[in-house]
Structure 1
Amino acid sequence: MELSEAVRRRRMVRNYSSEPVEAAVVDRVLAAGHRAPSAGNSAGWAFLLLDNPDDVARYWRATAGDRVEAPDRWLRGLMTAPVLVVTLSCKDAYLERYAEPDKGWSDRDEARWPVPYWHTDTAMAAMLMLLTAVDEGLGACFFGLPGPAVDRFRAAFDVPTAYTPVGVVSLGHRTDDAGPAGSARRGRPPVADVTHRGRW
Protein backbone atom coordinates (compact mmCIF):
# COMPACT_ATOMS: atom_id res chain seq x y z
CA MET A 1 0.00 0.00 0.00
CA GLU A 2 1.23 3.49 -0.80
CA LEU A 3 2.05 5.63 2.24
CA SER A 4 -0.47 8.27 1.18
CA GLU A 5 -3.20 5.61 1.10
CA ALA A 6 -2.23 4.30 4.55
CA VAL A 7 -2.35 7.84 5.94
CA ARG A 8 -5.75 8.46 4.32
CA ARG A 9 -7.21 5.20 5.66
CA ARG A 10 -5.79 5.47 9.18
CA ARG A 11 -8.42 5.85 11.86
CA MET A 12 -8.86 4.77 15.45
CA VAL A 13 -10.64 1.41 15.52
CA ARG A 14 -12.32 0.57 18.81
CA ASN A 15 -13.92 -2.81 18.08
CA TYR A 16 -12.29 -6.02 16.84
CA SER A 17 -13.26 -9.46 15.61
CA SER A 18 -12.19 -12.66 17.36
CA GLU A 19 -9.79 -13.52 14.52
CA PRO A 20 -6.23 -13.79 15.88
CA VAL A 21 -3.40 -11.64 14.55
CA GLU A 22 -0.50 -13.58 13.07
CA ALA A 23 2.71 -13.36 15.09
CA ALA A 24 4.66 -12.36 11.96
CA VAL A 25 2.34 -9.39 11.45
CA VAL A 26 2.78 -8.29 15.07
CA ASP A 27 6.55 -8.55 14.59
CA ARG A 28 6.35 -6.27 11.54
CA VAL A 29 4.31 -3.72 13.49
CA LEU A 30 6.90 -3.74 16.29
CA ALA A 31 9.77 -3.49 13.78
CA ALA A 32 8.13 -0.41 12.25
CA GLY A 33 7.89 1.22 15.67
CA HIS A 34 11.57 0.47 16.19
CA ARG A 35 12.33 2.56 13.08
CA ALA A 36 10.97 5.73 14.72
CA PRO A 37 13.22 8.78 14.98
CA SER A 38 15.19 8.95 18.20
CA ALA A 39 17.06 12.09 19.30
CA GLY A 40 20.75 11.31 19.43
CA ASN A 41 19.85 7.70 18.66
CA SER A 42 19.04 7.47 22.35
CA ALA A 43 16.44 4.75 21.69
CA GLY A 44 14.71 5.68 24.91
CA TRP A 45 11.55 3.79 24.16
CA ALA A 46 10.38 0.27 24.88
CA PHE A 47 7.35 -1.78 23.92
CA LEU A 48 5.46 -4.13 26.22
CA LEU A 49 3.74 -6.68 23.96
CA LEU A 50 0.61 -8.30 25.36
CA ASP A 51 -0.56 -10.87 22.84
CA ASN A 52 -2.10 -13.69 24.82
CA PRO A 53 -5.56 -13.53 26.38
CA ASP A 54 -4.32 -13.80 29.97
CA ASP A 55 -1.93 -10.86 29.61
CA VAL A 56 -4.52 -8.74 27.79
CA ALA A 57 -7.10 -9.48 30.51
CA ARG A 58 -4.52 -8.62 33.19
CA TYR A 59 -3.92 -5.28 31.49
CA TRP A 60 -7.62 -4.43 31.58
CA ARG A 61 -8.02 -5.55 35.19
CA ALA A 62 -5.04 -3.39 36.21
CA THR A 63 -6.09 -0.28 34.32
CA ALA A 64 -9.90 -0.39 34.25
CA GLY A 65 -10.50 -2.04 37.65
CA ASP A 66 -14.17 -2.62 38.45
CA ARG A 67 -15.24 -1.14 35.11
CA VAL A 68 -14.23 -4.46 33.50
CA GLU A 69 -17.35 -6.05 34.99
CA ALA A 70 -19.70 -3.44 33.50
CA PRO A 71 -17.79 -1.69 30.72
CA ASP A 72 -19.12 1.23 28.73
CA ARG A 73 -19.21 0.94 24.93
CA TRP A 74 -15.68 2.32 24.51
CA LEU A 75 -14.12 -0.11 26.96
CA ARG A 76 -16.25 -3.05 25.80
CA GLY A 77 -15.02 -2.50 22.23
CA LEU A 78 -11.35 -2.04 23.07
CA MET A 79 -11.38 -5.11 25.30
CA THR A 80 -11.99 -7.19 22.15
CA ALA A 81 -8.49 -6.35 20.84
CA PRO A 82 -6.37 -9.53 20.83
CA VAL A 83 -3.08 -7.57 20.93
CA LEU A 84 -1.98 -4.59 22.99
CA VAL A 85 1.38 -2.84 22.68
CA VAL A 86 2.14 -0.49 25.56
CA THR A 87 4.65 2.13 24.40
CA LEU A 88 6.95 3.41 27.12
CA SER A 89 9.53 6.19 27.24
CA CYS A 90 12.73 6.43 29.27
CA LYS A 91 13.88 9.95 30.09
CA ASP A 92 17.16 8.70 31.59
CA ALA A 93 18.26 7.26 28.24
CA TYR A 94 18.13 10.75 26.72
CA LEU A 95 19.75 12.55 29.64
CA GLU A 96 22.59 10.01 29.70
CA ARG A 97 23.05 10.03 25.91
CA TYR A 98 23.30 13.83 25.75
CA ALA A 99 25.86 13.89 28.58
CA GLU A 100 28.23 11.83 26.38
CA PRO A 101 31.27 13.61 24.85
CA ASP A 102 29.99 13.75 21.26
CA LYS A 103 26.92 15.73 22.31
CA GLY A 104 28.84 18.50 24.07
CA TRP A 105 26.85 18.58 27.30
CA SER A 106 28.58 17.49 30.48
CA ASP A 107 25.53 17.22 32.67
CA ARG A 108 22.09 15.61 32.70
CA ASP A 109 20.16 18.83 33.21
CA GLU A 110 16.55 18.23 32.18
CA ALA A 111 16.11 21.99 31.66
CA ARG A 112 18.01 21.60 28.37
CA TRP A 113 14.90 19.84 27.02
CA PRO A 114 12.03 22.35 26.64
CA VAL A 115 10.17 19.52 24.90
CA PRO A 116 10.43 16.00 26.40
CA TYR A 117 11.72 14.17 23.34
CA TRP A 118 11.55 10.84 25.18
CA HIS A 119 7.75 11.12 24.97
CA THR A 120 7.81 12.63 21.46
CA ASP A 121 9.93 9.86 19.98
CA THR A 122 7.80 7.21 21.67
CA ALA A 123 4.66 8.77 20.21
CA MET A 124 6.28 8.68 16.76
CA ALA A 125 6.98 4.98 17.26
CA ALA A 126 3.30 4.50 18.05
CA MET A 127 2.30 6.36 14.87
CA LEU A 128 4.51 4.11 12.76
CA MET A 129 2.79 1.12 14.36
CA LEU A 130 -0.63 2.58 13.52
CA LEU A 131 0.33 3.12 9.88
CA THR A 132 1.85 -0.35 9.62
CA ALA A 133 -1.35 -1.83 11.02
CA VAL A 134 -3.29 -0.17 8.19
CA ASP A 135 -0.76 -1.48 5.67
CA GLU A 136 -1.24 -4.98 7.10
CA GLY A 137 -5.02 -4.75 6.82
CA LEU A 138 -5.55 -4.44 10.57
CA GLY A 139 -7.47 -2.06 12.75
CA ALA A 140 -5.63 -0.16 15.48
CA CYS A 141 -6.22 2.47 18.13
CA PHE A 142 -3.88 4.58 20.25
CA PHE A 143 -5.15 5.43 23.72
CA GLY A 144 -3.70 6.53 27.03
CA LEU A 145 -3.56 4.99 30.47
CA PRO A 146 -5.61 6.74 33.16
CA GLY A 147 -3.26 8.49 35.59
CA PRO A 148 -4.51 6.63 38.69
CA ALA A 149 -3.97 3.30 36.89
CA VAL A 150 -0.27 3.76 36.10
CA ASP A 151 1.00 2.36 39.40
CA ARG A 152 -1.34 -0.63 39.14
CA PHE A 153 -0.11 -1.21 35.58
CA ARG A 154 3.53 -1.07 36.71
CA ALA A 155 2.87 -3.57 39.50
CA ALA A 156 0.94 -5.95 37.24
CA PHE A 157 3.74 -6.14 34.65
CA ASP A 158 6.89 -5.38 36.70
CA VAL A 159 7.57 -2.20 34.69
CA PRO A 160 10.59 -0.27 36.03
CA THR A 161 9.86 3.22 37.32
CA ALA A 162 12.36 4.66 34.80
CA TYR A 163 9.83 3.88 32.06
CA THR A 164 6.69 5.98 31.59
CA PRO A 165 3.73 4.53 29.68
CA VAL A 166 2.98 6.99 26.89
CA GLY A 167 0.06 5.09 25.39
CA VAL A 168 -1.24 1.79 24.12
CA VAL A 169 -1.67 0.56 20.54
CA SER A 170 -4.48 -1.97 20.25
CA LEU A 171 -4.32 -4.28 17.24
CA GLY A 172 -6.79 -6.64 15.65
CA HIS A 173 -9.00 -7.35 12.69
CA ARG A 174 -11.66 -4.69 12.47
CA THR A 175 -15.32 -5.51 12.33
CA ASP A 176 -18.03 -3.74 10.34
CA ASP A 177 -18.63 -1.77 13.52
CA ALA A 178 -15.35 0.07 14.14
CA GLY A 179 -16.62 1.09 17.56
CA PRO A 180 -17.69 4.43 19.01
CA ALA A 181 -16.74 7.42 16.90
CA GLY A 182 -14.97 9.14 19.77
CA SER A 183 -13.82 12.65 18.85
CA ALA A 184 -13.97 11.93 15.11
CA ARG A 185 -17.52 13.28 14.97
CA ARG A 186 -16.05 16.72 15.73
CA GLY A 187 -14.29 16.84 12.39
CA ARG A 188 -10.89 18.30 11.64
CA PRO A 189 -10.24 21.96 10.93
CA PRO A 190 -9.06 22.62 7.36
CA VAL A 191 -5.29 22.44 6.80
CA ALA A 192 -5.28 26.15 5.95
CA ASP A 193 -6.67 26.96 9.42
CA VAL A 194 -3.78 25.26 11.21
CA THR A 195 -0.95 26.25 8.82
CA HIS A 196 0.83 29.59 9.25
CA ARG A 197 3.05 30.47 6.32
CA GLY A 198 6.08 32.63 6.97
CA ARG A 199 4.77 34.06 10.23
CA TRP A 200 1.87 33.60 12.64
Structure 2
Amino acid sequence: MEFQEVVDRRRMIRNYAERPVDPAVVERALRNATRAPSAGFSQGWAFVLLDRPDDVHRYWESATPPDRLARPDRWLAGMMRAPVVVIPCSSKAAYLDRYAEPDKGWADRDDSRWPVPYWHMDTAMASLLILQTAVDEGLGALFFGIPVDRVRAVRSEFAIPDTHDPIGAITIGHLADDAGPPGSARTRRRVPLDELVHRGGWPPTR
Protein backbone atom coordinates (compact mmCIF):
# COMPACT_ATOMS: atom_id res chain seq x y z
CA MET A 1 0.00 0.00 0.00
CA GLU A 2 1.30 3.48 -0.87
CA PHE A 3 2.12 5.72 2.08
CA GLN A 4 -0.54 8.31 1.22
CA GLU A 5 -3.18 5.61 1.01
CA VAL A 6 -2.18 4.35 4.47
CA VAL A 7 -2.59 7.86 5.87
CA ASP A 8 -5.89 8.50 4.09
CA ARG A 9 -7.41 5.16 5.09
CA ARG A 10 -6.51 5.30 8.77
CA ARG A 11 -9.56 5.48 10.97
CA MET A 12 -10.53 4.30 14.41
CA ILE A 13 -12.13 0.83 14.27
CA ARG A 14 -14.61 -0.13 16.96
CA ASN A 15 -15.94 -3.43 15.68
CA TYR A 16 -13.82 -6.49 14.92
CA ALA A 17 -14.32 -9.92 13.39
CA GLU A 18 -13.52 -12.91 15.57
CA ARG A 19 -10.47 -13.90 13.53
CA PRO A 20 -6.87 -14.24 14.71
CA VAL A 21 -4.17 -11.84 13.58
CA ASP A 22 -0.91 -13.13 12.14
CA PRO A 23 1.70 -12.78 14.95
CA ALA A 24 4.25 -11.61 12.37
CA VAL A 25 2.04 -8.60 11.64
CA VAL A 26 1.89 -7.69 15.32
CA GLU A 27 5.66 -8.01 15.59
CA ARG A 28 6.06 -5.74 12.58
CA ALA A 29 3.77 -3.15 14.18
CA LEU A 30 5.77 -3.20 17.41
CA ARG A 31 9.07 -3.07 15.56
CA ASN A 32 7.81 -0.06 13.60
CA ALA A 33 6.75 1.60 16.85
CA THR A 34 10.36 1.60 18.00
CA ARG A 35 11.27 3.68 14.93
CA ALA A 36 9.35 6.65 16.31
CA PRO A 37 11.38 9.74 17.22
CA SER A 38 12.28 10.27 20.86
CA ALA A 39 13.95 13.23 22.55
CA GLY A 40 17.63 12.51 23.09
CA PHE A 41 16.97 9.04 21.69
CA SER A 42 15.68 8.29 25.19
CA GLN A 43 13.33 5.60 23.85
CA GLY A 44 11.32 5.82 27.05
CA TRP A 45 8.53 3.56 25.93
CA ALA A 46 7.42 -0.01 26.55
CA PHE A 47 4.52 -2.07 25.23
CA VAL A 48 2.41 -4.65 27.03
CA LEU A 49 1.36 -7.12 24.33
CA LEU A 50 -1.81 -9.11 24.95
CA ASP A 51 -2.40 -11.54 22.09
CA ARG A 52 -3.77 -14.60 23.85
CA PRO A 53 -7.52 -14.83 24.53
CA ASP A 54 -7.05 -15.18 28.29
CA ASP A 55 -4.79 -12.13 28.44
CA VAL A 56 -7.13 -10.04 26.30
CA HIS A 57 -10.00 -11.03 28.61
CA ARG A 58 -7.88 -10.00 31.60
CA TYR A 59 -7.48 -6.58 30.04
CA TRP A 60 -11.20 -6.03 29.64
CA GLU A 61 -11.90 -7.36 33.13
CA SER A 62 -9.42 -4.94 34.68
CA ALA A 63 -10.31 -1.95 32.50
CA THR A 64 -14.10 -2.23 32.62
CA PRO A 65 -16.56 -1.80 35.52
CA PRO A 66 -18.13 -5.19 36.36
CA ASP A 67 -21.70 -4.11 35.63
CA ARG A 68 -20.74 -2.87 32.17
CA LEU A 69 -18.67 -5.98 31.48
CA ALA A 70 -21.65 -8.17 32.36
CA ARG A 71 -23.87 -6.29 29.88
CA PRO A 72 -21.57 -4.81 27.23
CA ASP A 73 -23.09 -2.26 24.91
CA ARG A 74 -22.53 -2.38 21.15
CA TRP A 75 -19.28 -0.39 21.37
CA LEU A 76 -17.73 -2.56 24.07
CA ALA A 77 -18.91 -5.82 22.49
CA GLY A 78 -17.31 -4.86 19.18
CA MET A 79 -14.08 -3.82 20.86
CA MET A 80 -13.81 -6.99 22.93
CA ARG A 81 -13.73 -9.11 19.78
CA ALA A 82 -10.29 -7.70 18.87
CA PRO A 83 -7.75 -10.52 19.30
CA VAL A 84 -4.89 -8.18 20.17
CA VAL A 85 -4.56 -5.40 22.74
CA VAL A 86 -1.38 -3.37 23.17
CA ILE A 87 -0.85 -1.10 26.16
CA PRO A 88 1.78 1.54 25.28
CA CYS A 89 3.58 2.89 28.34
CA SER A 90 5.80 5.94 28.69
CA SER A 91 8.73 6.32 31.08
CA LYS A 92 9.31 9.81 32.43
CA ALA A 93 12.31 8.47 34.37
CA ALA A 94 14.05 7.43 31.15
CA TYR A 95 13.92 11.02 29.88
CA LEU A 96 15.03 12.61 33.15
CA ASP A 97 17.92 10.15 33.36
CA ARG A 98 18.91 10.67 29.73
CA TYR A 99 19.01 14.46 29.99
CA ALA A 100 21.11 14.29 33.15
CA GLU A 101 23.87 12.60 31.13
CA PRO A 102 27.01 14.61 30.25
CA ASP A 103 26.22 15.14 26.54
CA LYS A 104 22.94 16.88 27.40
CA GLY A 105 24.45 19.31 29.88
CA TRP A 106 21.85 19.13 32.65
CA ALA A 107 23.25 18.20 36.02
CA ASP A 108 19.95 17.15 37.57
CA ARG A 109 16.64 15.48 36.79
CA ASP A 110 14.45 18.55 37.32
CA ASP A 111 11.25 17.99 35.33
CA SER A 112 10.49 21.72 35.26
CA ARG A 113 12.96 21.99 32.38
CA TRP A 114 10.50 20.20 30.13
CA PRO A 115 7.91 22.53 28.51
CA VAL A 116 5.71 19.52 27.63
CA PRO A 117 5.90 15.83 28.64
CA TYR A 118 7.90 14.45 25.73
CA TRP A 119 7.76 10.96 27.25
CA HIS A 120 4.03 10.89 26.54
CA MET A 121 4.38 12.60 23.16
CA ASP A 122 7.01 10.19 21.89
CA THR A 123 5.04 7.15 23.06
CA ALA A 124 1.98 8.56 21.29
CA MET A 125 4.01 8.84 18.07
CA ALA A 126 5.10 5.24 18.51
CA SER A 127 1.44 4.32 18.96
CA LEU A 128 0.53 6.05 15.70
CA LEU A 129 3.05 3.87 13.88
CA ILE A 130 1.25 0.82 15.26
CA LEU A 131 -2.05 2.19 13.93
CA GLN A 132 -0.53 2.93 10.52
CA THR A 133 1.07 -0.51 10.30
CA ALA A 134 -2.32 -2.10 10.97
CA VAL A 135 -3.80 -0.16 8.05
CA ASP A 136 -0.91 -1.15 5.81
CA GLU A 137 -1.63 -4.80 6.65
CA GLY A 138 -5.33 -4.45 5.87
CA LEU A 139 -6.32 -4.54 9.54
CA GLY A 140 -8.16 -2.19 11.82
CA ALA A 141 -6.94 -0.57 15.02
CA LEU A 142 -8.06 1.90 17.63
CA PHE A 143 -6.19 3.96 20.20
CA PHE A 144 -8.34 4.74 23.22
CA GLY A 145 -7.93 5.88 26.79
CA ILE A 146 -8.08 3.73 29.88
CA PRO A 147 -10.74 5.10 32.26
CA VAL A 148 -8.96 7.02 35.00
CA ASP A 149 -10.63 4.99 37.73
CA ARG A 150 -9.42 1.74 36.13
CA VAL A 151 -5.77 2.61 35.55
CA ARG A 152 -4.69 1.25 38.93
CA ALA A 153 -6.43 -2.06 38.23
CA VAL A 154 -4.77 -2.35 34.81
CA ARG A 155 -1.39 -1.55 36.35
CA SER A 156 -1.87 -4.21 38.98
CA GLU A 157 -3.20 -6.87 36.61
CA PHE A 158 -0.21 -6.61 34.29
CA ALA A 159 2.44 -5.65 36.87
CA ILE A 160 3.26 -2.36 35.14
CA PRO A 161 6.06 -0.81 37.22
CA ASP A 162 5.98 2.67 38.71
CA THR A 163 8.66 3.71 36.22
CA HIS A 164 6.12 3.46 33.39
CA ASP A 165 2.68 4.96 32.81
CA PRO A 166 0.08 3.47 30.45
CA ILE A 167 -0.98 6.24 28.08
CA GLY A 168 -3.93 4.27 26.67
CA ALA A 169 -4.57 1.03 24.84
CA ILE A 170 -4.67 -0.13 21.22
CA THR A 171 -6.91 -2.83 19.79
CA ILE A 172 -5.85 -4.58 16.57
CA GLY A 173 -7.88 -6.97 14.48
CA HIS A 174 -9.74 -7.74 11.28
CA LEU A 175 -12.59 -5.40 10.51
CA ALA A 176 -16.11 -6.73 11.01
CA ASP A 177 -18.56 -6.45 8.13
CA ASP A 178 -20.54 -4.04 10.28
CA ALA A 179 -18.47 -0.94 10.99
CA GLY A 180 -20.00 -0.66 14.44
CA PRO A 181 -21.22 2.47 16.23
CA PRO A 182 -20.21 5.71 14.52
CA GLY A 183 -17.30 7.62 15.99
CA SER A 184 -16.87 11.37 16.21
CA ALA A 185 -15.25 11.45 12.76
CA ARG A 186 -18.63 10.52 11.29
CA THR A 187 -20.58 13.12 13.19
CA ARG A 188 -18.15 16.04 13.05
CA ARG A 189 -16.61 17.76 10.04
CA ARG A 190 -12.91 17.53 9.30
CA VAL A 191 -11.48 21.00 9.85
CA PRO A 192 -10.18 22.39 6.52
CA LEU A 193 -6.44 22.84 6.18
CA ASP A 194 -6.69 26.59 5.68
CA GLU A 195 -8.28 26.92 9.11
CA LEU A 196 -5.41 25.05 10.76
CA VAL A 197 -2.29 26.28 8.98
CA HIS A 198 -1.14 29.80 9.95
CA ARG A 199 1.49 30.67 7.41
CA GLY A 200 4.09 32.99 8.88
CA GLY A 201 2.23 33.07 12.19
CA TRP A 202 -1.27 33.67 13.47
CA PRO A 203 -3.03 36.67 11.90
CA PRO A 204 -3.40 39.70 14.19
CA THR A 205 -6.54 39.73 16.29
CA ARG A 206 -8.88 42.66 15.93
Query: Which TM-score bucket, shorter chain as reference?
Result: over 0.9
Could you tell me which residue of structure 1 aligns to residue 143 of structure 2?
A: 142
Could you tell me which residue of structure 2 aligns to residue 47 of structure 1?
A: 47
Deviation at 1:62, TM superposition (A): 0.3
Could you tell me which residue of structure 2 aligns to residue 187 of structure 1?
A: 189
Task: Give the number of equivalent residue pairs.
Answer: 200
CA–CA distance in structure 2, aligned partners of residues 11 and 152 of structure 1: 28
Deviation at 1:181, TM superposition (A): 1.6
List alignment gaps of at least 5 residues for structure 1. Answer: none
SS at match of 1:161: coil
Identity of aligned residues (%): 60
- Deviation per residue, 1:1-34 (Å, 9 max, x gap): 1111000000000111111001111100111111
Deviation at 1:65, TM superposition (A): 2.4
Deviation at 1:187, TM superposition (A): 2.0
Could you tell me which residue of structure 1 aligns to residue 27 of structure 2?
A: 27
Could you tell me which residue of structure 2 aligns to residue 151 of structure 1?
A: 152
AA at the equivalent of 1:150: V
Deviation at 1:182, TM superposition (A): 1.6
Could you tell me which residue of structure 2 aligns to residue 60 of structure 1?
A: 60
- Structure 1 length normalisation: TM-score? 0.98
CA–CA distance in structure 2, aligned partners of residues 114 and 181 of structure 1: 36
- Deviation per residue, 1:94-144 (Å, 9 max, x gap): 000000000011110101111100000000000000000000110101101
SS at match of 2:128: helix
Deviation at 1:84, TM superposition (A): 0.4
Could you tell me which residue of structure 2 aligns to residue 10 of structure 1?
A: 10
Could you tell me which residue of structure 1 aligns to residue 99 of structure 2?
A: 98
Could you tell me which residue of structure 2 aligns to residue 115 of structure 1?
A: 116
- Structure 2 length normalisation: TM-score? 0.95
AA at the equivalent of 2:47: F
Counterparts of residues 170-185 of structure 1 (less than 5 Å): 170-184=171-185, 185=187
CA–CA distance in structure 2, aligned partners of residues 143 and 187 of structure 1: 20
Could you tell me which residue of structure 2 aligns to residue 167 of structure 1?
A: 168
After the TM superposition, which parts of structure 1 deviate over 6 Å for at least 4 consecutive aligned residues?
none
CA–CA distance in structure 1, aligned partners of residues 195 and 117 of structure 2: 26
- Deviation per residue, 1:141-183 (Å, 9 max, x gap): 1101011101000111111012111111110000122222221
AA at the equivalent of 1:188: R
CA–CA distance in structure 2, aligned partners of residues 178 and 125 of structure 1: 26
CA–CA distance in structure 2, aligned partners of residues 179 and 98 of structure 1: 45
AA at the equivalent of 1:88: C
List alignment gaps of at least 5 residues for structure 2. Answer: none
